[in-house]
Amino acid sequence: MNTRVIGIANQKGGVGKTTTAINLAACLAERRQNVLLIDLDPQANSTSGLGVEKEEGKSIYRALLGEVALETFIRPTEVSRLDLLPAEVDLAGAEVDIARADNYLHPFQHALAPVRQSGKYDFIIVDCPPSLGILTMNVLTAADSLLIPMQCEYYALEGLSVMLRLVQRLKDSGANPGLEIEGILMTMYDMRTNLSQQVVQEVAVHFGDKVYETLIPRSVRLSESPSYGQPIIVYDGNCVAAAAYRSFAKEFLQRARGDGKGGALGRGIQKPAPSEPPPEPEPAEPMPEQESAPESLPGDVSASLPESEEQEEVSSRQ
């Protein structure tokens, strides 16, 4: 399989971009994929969330300016098969520097090309800042597809049309004709509220089978893990959120393999094969009270639930 470049984008902050970037990357690595996570947000939350110190001068910044090769600052992480290209706050300056260049849409694409062509990675996952500024536009220009995390809250869809119009414009203008929407991941799902379910249904009305079946539950463990510098599968591999991101990585891979070019447009969501064992045994643990179990889209409740939690989920509804 060729290297696929996936941008994790949504101009809203706090919707789960970084959480998804870190945990999808780690879960894909657990599934024996070679993954590079690029932190393109000057806030460097993916960097600190993987326990990597921010170091001045060691971000992608100078590579974007063409001063050094992008691979110079790629470093391994605690997770095998997962490498990181860190960010640091100086990256904010890159926006200004790049904006002055004639080809301001392309520096990231150019810097990334050698790594992409080396075939070293199955997936390059790029965590975008919460804006549609120059850095995000560079990702939209360089990526094969975009993964859009959406928080299960009332205004989830607000503002999204602006980004989708930009995607269309990049396609039509020839800047990135192959750009697709990889999929939409609903995050912070709270099974105790009707609102979460309504929002998922509303988003599904607009985006159909681009919405992943796996729903990421609201989870205290998940919000704790970045302060320990660990992906959820390392911080608490048996919790519901770890099961959810493992489920998601599996669904993500199945879709990605279903179409070598990426993009979920018009394709049916493929259900996880029930016979396939998880990458590592997941002992059944009692679910912490405040956690809500991962669900799937209405009408197919069992598809994305890991078996051990399915029992919990069923019993919690009785």
Per-residue mark of binding to ligand ADP, 219-258 (x: CB under 6 A): x--xx--x--------------------------------
Q: Which does 219 bind (CB under 5 to 8 A by kind): ligand ADP, Mg ion, none?
A: ligand ADP
CA distances from 14 to 19, 128, 133, 279 (A): 9, 12, 17, 30
C-alpha closest to that of 4 among 132, 183, 192? 183
Between 168 and 223, whose beta carbon lies closer to ligand ADP? 223
CA distances from 239 to 135, 176, 251, 292, 309 (A): 34, 39, 19, 10, 9
How far, in Å, CA of 210 to CA of 250, rounded? 15
Between 92 and 175, whose beta carbon lies closer to Mg ion? 92
Q: Which does 216 bind (CB under 5 to 8 A by kind): Mg ion, ligand ADP, none?
A: ligand ADP
Residue entry with tokens 């969501």: 269
Please tell me whether residue 58 binds Mg ion under the rule CB under 5 A. no
CA distances from 280 to 34, 139, 152, 190, 233 (A): 17, 33, 29, 27, 11
Of 11-19, 26-34, 157-165, 245-253: span binding ligand ADP (CB under 6 A)? 11-19
Please tell me whether residue 19 binds ligand ADP under the rule CB under 6 A. yes
Between 40 and 98, whose beta carbon lies closer to ligand ADP? 40
**Candidate list 3, 11, 18, 141; residue touching Mg ion; CB under 5 A:** 18
> How are the residues of the chain apportioned to helix, strand and coil, as percentages rounded to the nearest 5?
40, 10, 45
Please tell me whether residue 17 binds Mg ion under the rule CB under 5 A. yes
Paired with 6 in beta bridges are 125, 145
Are residues 273 and 304 in contact, defined by beta-carbon separation less than 8 angstroms? Answer: no
**Candidate list 24, 27, 147, 216; residue touching ligand ADP; CB under 6 A:** 216
Please tell me whether residue 47 binds ligand ADP under the rule CB under 6 A. no
**Candidate list 4, 6, 9, 18; residue touching ligand ADP; CB under 6 A:** 18
| DSSP element (H, E) containing 150 | strand 145-151
Q: Which does 15 bind (CB under 5 to 8 A by kind): Mg ion, ligand ADP, none?
A: ligand ADP
Residues 76-105 binding ligand ADP (CB under 6 A) are none
How far, in Å, CA of 11 to CA of 205, rounded? 21
Between 18 and 59, whose beta carbon lies closer to Mg ion? 18
For residue 69, the minimal CB distance to ligand ADP (Å) is 27
Q: Which does 223 bind (CB under 5 to 8 A by kind): Mg ion, ligand ADP, none?
A: ligand ADP
Residues 129-188 binding ligand ADP (CB under 6 A) are 130, 187-188
Are residues 89 and 44 in contact, defined by beta-carbon separation less than 8 angstroms? Answer: yes
Q: Compute the Cα dihedral for 222, 225, 231, 233 and give only its sign.
A: negative
For residue 59, the minimal CB distance to Mg ion (Å) is 15
> CB under 8 Å to 209, separation ≥6 — which residues?
264, 266, 267, 268, 269
Please tell me whether residue 288 binds ligand ADP under the rule CB under 6 A. no
CA distances from 171 to 23, 41, 128, 178 (A): 29, 24, 19, 7
Site residues for Mg ion per CB under 5 A: 17-18, 45
Site residues for ligand ADP per CB under 6 A: 13-19, 45, 130, 187-188, 216, 218-219, 222-223, 226
